Structure 1
Amino acid sequence: MADRGRRCAPERGLRAGLSPGRVGPALTGRAAVVLGCALRAGRPSPAMRLRVAHAAVLFHDRRVDRIVVTGGGGPPSEAEAMRGLLRAAGVPDGAVIPEGRAANTFENLIFARALLPPDTAVTIVSSRWHLPRARLIAAILGWRVAASGPRGTAPRPAAIRAALREVAAVPPSAMRALGWRLRGTGKGL
């Protein structure tokens, strides 16, 4: 959410209009959870466009049958902006579940999971530099997930900054997820 200083990706150099890369098989049973990504002046960032395009490929390839888009802020919320991008990519509204409250990766996962039946297999969709932390949070919560992210290009300095931000975010994210799990509030995926 741009309003709270949320940073999403090293956007300079991202090629938002290109076909997303395909990474690893998605689980079957089958929802993609697209993690929130900052809006810039109310418009989708290049990184958001890449994530959403990747989720649309998963849907059109029948690797998922619904897509949860996450993220608050706005107006519009990150989730609503992503829903519009999915609509433009030919994903029917009935296959898209918006979650418009989350303000961080942990909330993206917790709030999205609450919208899905317990037996749903989940594929987390985000930028590749973001996926290790998202998977770590899910693992600490005891959830089994797949992860898939688009190929993006960024200049080396921007990519290094993104990776360093992720490294710095691991301890607080892990502690929050561990606290959630120890309280018994984060049950299976």
Structure 2
Amino acid sequence: MSNKRTPWKWMRRAGILLAVLGLLWVLVLQYRMETFPDNPSADGDVGIVLGSALKQNQPSPSLQERLERAVVLFQGGKISSIIVSGGLTRTEFDLSEAEGMRAYLIERGIPDSHIVMEQKATNTYENLRFSKRLMSQNNWHTAVIITHRYHMLRAMEMAEFLGYDQPQASPVDSKVLSKFWSKLYETAAHVKWLQDQLFLLMGFQA
């Protein structure tokens, strides 16, 4: 009888071990999201603002936080141009995320001639992939990536995967988003990124 139970006992122990390791991985990941370092000296040829939802065709309060960081960097001479990246993600909207962001930046005094729209992206990977093409077209070599701190870890991993040349990060802390739910969502998104990265390395589209 004991011999028959042995395989199940090992399977149960293996399951418990995997669950513990998975929990530890999540905790480490969330710690890395929370403590992603600031970089006050971040500068580059262009700043890339990663898109997020519009609200009534206007940037949501959380997206405004990212845009305000771009304004600060531009006015401080850290970047000379801004890519606003985000497509038409919801059919009830009249504007793409990029169009909404561009209008906001113009209202904040950024010259239209210094703003480039990327309007095809529907996720973070596409934000960075399509923005990199625009960098090549405009002969820009270095970029400062602008997004929230909890999102920056995955964004930087994607930028490095896509071959960005020493990308700089300018993480933003949110005063309007729930930290718990943002990090929970981002944990799930990071798991999906690991899967997508494997598919991309194998030659498949994620």
- Deviation, 1:151, is 3.3
Note if contact 1:141-1:181 (Cα within 8 Å) is conserved in structure 2: no
Larger Rg: 2
Higher helix share: 2
Note if contact 2:62-2:176 (Cα within 8 Å) is conserved in structure 1: no
Q: Does 1:87 align with 2:87?
A: no
Q: Does 1:25 align with 2:41?
A: yes
Match of 2:72 among 26, 48, 57: 57
1:46-88 alpha-carbon deviations (Å, 9 max, x no partner): 0111111110111110100110001011321100010011101
Q: Moved runs in structure 1, 4+ residues, more than 6 A?
A: none
Name the % identity. 32
* TM-score, normalisation: structure 2: 0.71
Shift of the 125–100 alpha-carbon distance from structure 1 to 2, 3 Å rule, reads same
Question: Amino acid of the residue matched to residue 68 of structure 1?
Answer: I
Question: Amino acid of the residue matched to residue 69 of structure 1?
Answer: V
When the two chains are superposed, the root-mean-square deviation of aligned CA atoms in Å is 2.2
* TM-score, normalisation: structure 1: 0.77
Larger RCO (CA under 8 A, 6+ residues apart): 1
Equivalents in 1 of 2:65, 2:112: separation in Å?
19
- What residue number does 1:121 align with? 142
SS of equivalent to 2:150: coil
- Deviation, 1:121, is 0.5
Note if contact 1:140-1:181 (Cα within 8 Å) is conserved in structure 2: no
- What residue number does 1:112 align with? 131
Could you tell me which runs of 5 or more consecutive residues in structure 1 were left unpaired when the two chains were aligned. 1-21
Match of 1:174 among 194, 198, 201: 194
Equivalents in 2 of 1:105, 1:159: separation in Å?
19
Question: Amino acid of the residue matched to residue 78 of structure 2?
Answer: R
